[in-house]
Structure 1
Amino acid sequence: MRWLLRLVLTLVTAVILLAALAFLLPRDRIATAVSERLAAATGRTITIEGPLQPTIWPVIGLRSGTLRIGNADWASQRPMLQAGAIDIGLDLAALWRGDIVIRRLRLHDADIHLERDSTGRENWRLAPQPAAAAAIPATPVQPPARPITLDEAQLSGSRITFVDRASDTVLRADDLDLRLEMPGTDGPARLELSGRLEGQPLALRSEIADPAALIQGQASALALDMAFAGGRMTFRGRGGLDLAAEGQIDIDAPAPARLLSAFGQPDVALPAAAAGPMRLVGTLNRTRTGTLGLRDATVTLSANRFRLDAQLHPGADRPFLDATISAEALDFSSGPVAPAPGSAAGAAPAARGWSTTPIDIAPLAWLDADLRLSAQSLRLGELQAGPVQIRARLDAARAVLDLQEIQLLDGTLGGEFVINGRGALSVGGNLVASEIGMQPLLATLVGQDRLIAPLSGRLRFLGSGPSVAAIMASLSGEGAFALGQGAIVGLDLVGMLRRLDMSYVGEGSRTIFDRITGSFTIAEGVLRNDDLAFSAPLMQATGSGRIDLGPQQLDYRLVTTALAREDGSGGLRVPFLIDGPWADPRIRLDLEGIARGRAEEERRALEARAEAEARRRLEELGVEAREGEPLEDTARRALEEEARRLLENEVRRGLGRLLGGN
């Protein structure tokens, strides 16, 4: 309200001057004199339509027609203030004694336009014109240096519009009624205001202990009580016209969504964990340079309670928030999203699959931040983590989450997660997991809880797009995983193998395994794996295939071998095909693979029989196979030896004939 108090004081000064001029100058020159005097005091163009009328009864004073105060030269063309009429009344008896007692100061049907540009300039900062610009006939009358009493200042049926170009925010207040009482500068001043802010009711009461100190640019003790959007705020402390303040603040907002709507964010839908009642109690501090601080604050939000220390600095390009949040326990369990005020309720549930709703990245550019969160326990849906230490840095619409310490589901999770809103939205990360329980993890992430095992692994990924669906369809990256001893619930692979019946469930309906390992690559939203290794007491398996992350589809081949003996002999090798949506996959025998497998077995059997027969023949010829020597090498060696023997015999006979038997 600094701008309003300054305007009131400017008008009071003008009244003191005009109280004398009103009866000395012709009426057609009074409006000109007032306009020039106010223009000199404010540095703005002042227009008064209609002559100023001196009033005698019930109090001496002035009444004018329409008043316009021009805007700053860099702001919009509309006036900063336009009022349908001004009524100023003085106490004649007090004026005769030399005291200034203003009985009334009323602005009717006022339209006030406040504006801040992208560099932080404010149109309500008034600068007096040079002395030469204020030329009033006759010798100016200097206001007496006496205490000023303002019985009543009123603003009725008025409107205020605030435009912030830096944050692209527009706030509107309508039906405003304001009442200011300042019986004397040595006593308290009282301010009451009521109206509607962005359609939400607003009421304010304030008491200033030392208005004289306030007028002189010093701080005064003050109390503020405000009711808004179904909530309330109280402040007890000290403050001044430069908006520097320090004191205890208490905010109680039963519906935070309504509060955001009242401050120009009507379409924000809050998650269930942030949609409940909010209470903040702490020490508020605002410096003359605009830094807003909160110390030793206790915040209650829905079922969560945490401690907060924060400072919001104006910043050159954007505000900068430096905050530390600590809590014993935080619960951000899954739940319905609280609709913004005025939005449709009871909307149909979204179809199965990733959301295609565009992600609003505008909030990433609202401010820069360095946030530190620590909690002994953290709950996200079915996920229970703790202790947790996370640091989040936001710089020019790029957020980096440093997972410094997260104890998650009997294991640990660490690494980095990045959300980049500079231009098109992209997300990426480099995560490392150790011994994390898979059942609650999958239940929360993809709605499946069939896999029970500890997970260790690494994941590097990058994706971009305007929605979750687009991001999942664009993912790229790589990783590896290892699952320790566990079970697959609802699937009895051993029973299926023994009966070759995919509908077989079996007692307990689960497959117990010792270890599952593998690695994968991701390109254009498709995850590929070629080295899955599955080890179980009664079965071994290998697998390869693809997972389309965008449409959530599986296309995987698993080759299992059921072991009849402990030494691994007598196994039954059966391939399975797993395909369809991962929420309800189809598991079937790979009949073509079985046929190929049987043909391969028959080929190998024929080759074995042929090899055995060949060895028998070689043995009949007296050729002895060497240990580990392939059959082909044995046959080749036998032929070479026989050819050498025959050649030697022929050479010997030829030499005998040549030498005549000698």
Structure 2
Amino acid sequence: MSVLSVLLILVVAFAIWFDWNMIKPYVERQVTEKTGREFVIGGDLDVKLSLNPLVSAEGLSLANADWGTQQPMLGVDRLQFRISLLDLLAGHVVLPEVSVSQPKILLEKSADGKRNWDLKKEEKEAELPKIGKLTLDRGIVFFRDPKTKTDITAKISTDGAADAREASINVSAEGKYAGLSFAAQGQGGGVLTLTDETLPYPIKAKVEIGTTRAALDGTITGLAKLAEMDLQLDMSGEDLSALYPIVGIVIFPSPPYQISGRVLHQKSEWSMEGFSGHVGESDLGGSILFDTGGKRPMLRGDVVSKVLDLNDLKGFIGARRAPQPQDTPAEKQEKKASIEAQRDRLLPDQKFSVERLRAMDADVKFTGASIRNKDLPVEHLVSHLKIDDGLMTLDPANFAVAGGNIVSNLTINARKDVPAAEARIDVKRLQLPKLFPKVELTHGAAGVIGGSTRLKGHGESVGALLASADGKFGLVMSGGEISEMLLAALDLDAAKLIKLLFTGDKNVPVRCAVIDYDVKEGIMDSKAFVIDTEKTIVLGEGHINLAEETIKMKLSPQPKEWGFPSLRTPVHIAGTLKKPTVYPDKMLAIRIGAAVALGVLATPAAALIPLIELGTGEDANCRALIASVKQPQPAQPSRTQTKKKSNN
């Protein structure tokens, strides 16, 4: 036997009987130095020699950061891989087979934003090995971020395809995201393509976060950093405002919705082109762009609803939301109590989310091409919403109503803790018969209504803003005709109503109708309330308290001609704005009582005297009244300011 043969036998014998555990300290030390974290091989280290030696190691662990919640950051029950010696001699690391059994990875952030996966950096980036077949058995990844209230556990496995670049990843996850319940099922592309930041990585998944559900199918380039994205997204949920903690986009509360579209992402921009869907009973479509690259995120959009139900916009003005399935028992009880407290009130008292108005900027155009609403004769809506560092403007909000327009400009300044608001509303050429389409007595009427409202206030809700409002409110109608029966009903003239029921209704020319209120600290005082026809003038007086939501008005008819018989009497409107009551003045009872008394005590003819109208009413100065409404009034001091001046 030659010396070379003996040496070869000794080398083989050494390799076969060598205890590879003896080099564990060296391997552990090398990995620890390169990562900056303690690396331990707790089990056996073994190598089976061949042209592709099989290396196996058990009980591997890599320590977590010092501030981490638990140790280790990485744990693997068993790792096996084959290494190609021929490729290694050529300077390339090729692993024909890799098998990882029960890996556990803990990824977490600290409260101040540190990441435990930021390891010690090498001066020169190491070249990743080429892997053939990859098997991942029962892997678990934990992700925790206390700042965003996120704690997710994901189970990961592979299909075990022949090529690791084609072996797809299967993921199932659950836990909490942004404090909401989280569940997901998904499938990704090849394992190794995850590390290639230049290749689009295919992904298909279904996700549920709270009451928000999403299905996505497409590609993500640079998965770790979400460098680029091209996804088909189908999303649905109970409330659009629930998207804020998930994606940071501020949307007003809404009814249940469903939206589909193509999501594109590059750099700091996220866009959804040509999306479509519905919110409540309204359809929705258009394009939106969300840019996170500025000082604050910016939302731009052009949204169109072909058929809009106004009830779906109640959340925009702060309507109360019913308890939702994801609410805690305490939250559900609080919402129920809030709804009960609001039951007898008309004005929304839901507080504005000031922090959300400050969280992002916006420039969104919205068009409601056709309006569906059974109570209001609204035809379409055009609006433009802007938010700039907590300053929200709605300019315009143009409603096509009853053949005319109601053009609004609203500003809410939420840069301070208590928002301040200013509203300008112009009413242009509303047609009387179209304004009350369900009231038969207005079908034959004619007349065009206009007016303006100017209000300023402060408060944390729509109700609070109006309760503190200063300004004016006015409506006018010049010319036209109204039903004589409607006028008699307004006068509570029972005798004329009975007569018209037999002779038939007819229209009465209107000289003018003017409603003019001064508003101070939420109290609307009637400056002028006049309905002037050729035969009768109706004068109103009283006030509306927006803080208490009460009304106290008196309408007094004054005929311009002698009339008999007549039971015309003043009318009182009182109670709450939501449930007002209408009742006749006590004068009616006095007149009836006087007629009965005279008929009993005097003669039957004398009983007719209280039923005679003397016709003392006079024409109103319509031109001056209308001019008063149309001309802007100087700002009046509030009651608080007046009291302060009087005390000085």
Pair 1:558–1:255, CA change in 2 (3 A): closer
1:103 aligns with 2:98: yes
Map 1:467-478 → 2, pairs under 5 A: 467-478=461-472
Identify the residue that residue 541 of structure 1 maps to in structure 2: 538
1:69 aligned to 64, 69, 77, which one? 64
In 2, Cα distance between equivalents of 1:115 and 1:489: 75
TM-score normalised by structure 2 residue count: 0.68
1:129 aligns with 2:121: yes
CA contact (8 A) 2:403 2:434 kept: no
Pair 1:182–1:511, CA change in 2 (3 A): farther
Map 1:470-619 → 2, pairs under 5 A: 470-483=464-477, 485-486=481-482, 492-493=488-489, 496-497=492-493, 514=510, 515-564=512-561, 575-582=570-577, 583-589=579-585
Percent of residue pairs bearing the same amino acid type: 13
1:235 aligns with 2:217: yes
Identify the residue that residue 33 of structure 1 maps to in structure 2: 30
Deviations 1:616-635 (A, max 9, x none): xxxxxxxxxxxxxxxxxxxx
In 2, Cα distance between equivalents of 1:451 and 1:197: 60
1:285 aligns with 2:281: no
How far apart are residue 392 of structure 1 and its match?
0.7
Deviations 1:428-469 (A, max 9, x none): 21111113367998999xxx9999975311111122222343
Identify the residue that residue 89 of structure 1 maps to in structure 2: 79
Identify the residue that residue 362 of structure 2 maps to in structure 1: 369
Q: Match of 1:69, SS?
A: coil
Aligned residues: 533
Q: Match of 2:307, SS?
A: strand
Q: Match of 2:460, SS?
A: coil
1:159 aligned to 131, 142, 146, which one? 142
Paired residue type of 2:187: R
Identify the residue that residue 626 of structure 1 maps to in structure 2: none
In 2, Cα distance between equivalents of 1:153 and 1:488: 86
Paired residue type of 1:123: R
Identify the residue that residue 13 of structure 1 maps to in structure 2: none
How far apart are residue 391 of structure 1 and its match?
1.0
In 1, Cα distance between equivalents of 2:43 and 2:485: 89
Paired residue type of 2:583: I
How far apart are residue 108 of structure 1 and its match?
4.7
Paired residue type of 1:580: G
CA contact (8 A) 1:82 1:112 kept: no
CA contact (8 A) 1:455 1:481 kept: yes
Q: Which has the larger radius of gyration?
A: 1
How far apart are residue 526 of structure 1 and its match?
0.0
Identify the residue that residue 613 of structure 1 maps to in structure 2: none
In 2, Cα distance between equivalents of 1:512 and 1:106: 92
Identify the residue that residue 204 of structure 1 maps to in structure 2: 186
Deviations 1:511-540 (A, max 9, x none): 977242032211111001122221134311
Instruction: Report the more deviating stretch, 227-236 or 543-552.
Output: 227-236
CA contact (8 A) 2:518 2:527 kept: no
Identify the residue that residue 608 of structure 2 maps to in structure 1: none
Paired residue type of 1:461: L
CA contact (8 A) 1:319 1:366 kept: yes
TM-score normalised by structure 1 residue count: 0.67
Map 1:88-487 → 2, pairs under 5 A: 89-92=79-82, 94=84, 98=88, 99-101=94-96, 103-106=98-101, 108=103, 110-114=105-109, 123=115, 126=118, 128-129=120-121, 131=123, 147-149=130-132, 151-153=134-136, 156-162=139-145, 169-174=148-153, 176-180=154-158, 187-198=165-176, 199-208=181-190, 211=192, 215-220=195-200, 222-228=202-208, 231-237=213-219, 239-241=221-223, 242-253=225-236, 255=238, 260=243, 263=246, 270-272=253-255, 275-276=256-257, 278-282=258-262, 284-287=263-266, 289-333=267-311, 337=321, 339-343=323-327, 344=332, 347=336, 349=340, 350-353=342-345, 354-379=347-372, 382-403=375-396, 405-422=398-415, 423-436=417-430, 455-483=449-477, 485-486=481-482
* Aligned CA-pair RMSD: 4.8
Deviations 1:465-509 (A, max 9, x none): 2234322321111132114644699884576357699x9998899
How far apart are residue 159 of structure 1 and its match?
2.9
In 1, Cα distance between equivalents of 2:34 and 2:484: 87
List gaps (5 residues or longer) in structure 2. 1-17, 89-93, 315-319, 592-648
Pair 1:255–1:572, CA change in 2 (3 A): closer
Paired residue type of 2:57: L
How far apart are residue 358 of structure 1 and its match?
3.3
In 2, Cα distance between equivalents of 1:211 and 1:441: 67
CA contact (8 A) 1:257 1:340 kept: no
Identify the residue that residue 604 of structure 1 maps to in structure 2: none
Identify the residue that residue 4 of structure 1 maps to in structure 2: none
Identify the residue that residue 8 of structure 1 maps to in structure 2: none
Q: Match of 2:31, SS?
A: helix
CA contact (8 A) 2:21 2:46 kept: no
Q: Match of 2:463, SS?
A: helix
In 2, Cα distance between equivalents of 1:487 and 1:110: 80
Deviations 1:45-81 (A, max 9, x none): x23467464256996332336533327xxxxx33698
In 2, Cα distance between equivalents of 1:28 and 1:563: 112
In 2, Cα distance between equivalents of 1:516 and 1:70: 78
Deviations 1:530-581 (A, max 9, x none): 222211343112222211112222223333212335xx99999965544333
In 1, Cα distance between equivalents of 2:76 and 2:364: 50
Q: Match of 2:430, SS?
A: strand
